[in-house]
Amino acid sequence: MLDASVLVKWFSTTGEANVAEAVDIMERHAEGDLVVAVPDLAYYEVANALTGKKVLTIQTVNLAMRDLFDFKLQTIAIDAELMVEAVKRAREFKITIYDASYIAVAEKCNCPLVTANPRHQGLAVGCQVIPLERWGKRAG
């Protein structure tokens, strides 16, 4: 499971840390060595983050979003059950419902959450949280 903080690095590297780790995940997914899962919310969050980067043209953002869909990520639709879990996690950990949605989906899929978002890191949630900067150490 990747959150938007990792996916954004696939398309915007300026001022971003741990780009090599994010690109490694992207390449491994493209080669079929790794399945990347995301909640459907991730597409909106990536589009929002890229749109907010004034150095990127609208055409560049649109191309990036087309490319993101072309990666054929395993996309998990948020349903009522997942929303209930996300609300519970948001309250419990005092995080946004958006951040809690990634945790709820990772728990449901029984997979780790790879994130560059420090709000997720160090939380004792119901899934393994892997900081992006540790990806190479874990995967290598």
Contacts of 46 (CB under 8 A, 6+ apart): 4, 7, 8, 11, 64, 65, 68
Token duo for residue 107: 């728990």
Domain membership of residue 132 as a residue range: 4-139
Q: What is the model's pTM? A: 0.90
Give the total number of structural domains in the chain: 1
User: 14 Cβ partners below 8 Å, 6+ apart?
Assistant: 53, 55
Average pLDDT over residues 20-35: 95
- What pLDDT, in 10s, does the model give residues 59-91? 999 999 999 999 999 999 999 999 999 999 999
Between CA 6 and CA 25 the distance in angstroms is: 9
pLDDT in tens, 101-112: 999 999 999 999
**Per-residue b/e over 17-41, b at no fewer than 16 CB within 10 Å?**
ebbebbebbbeebeeeeeebbbbeb
| Pairwise CA distance, residues 108 & 102, whole Å | 10
Convert the pLDDT of each residue in 48-62 to its tens digit: 999 999 999 999 999
Q: What is the CATH number of the domain that holds 104?
A: 3.40.50.1010
Give 74's strand partners: 37
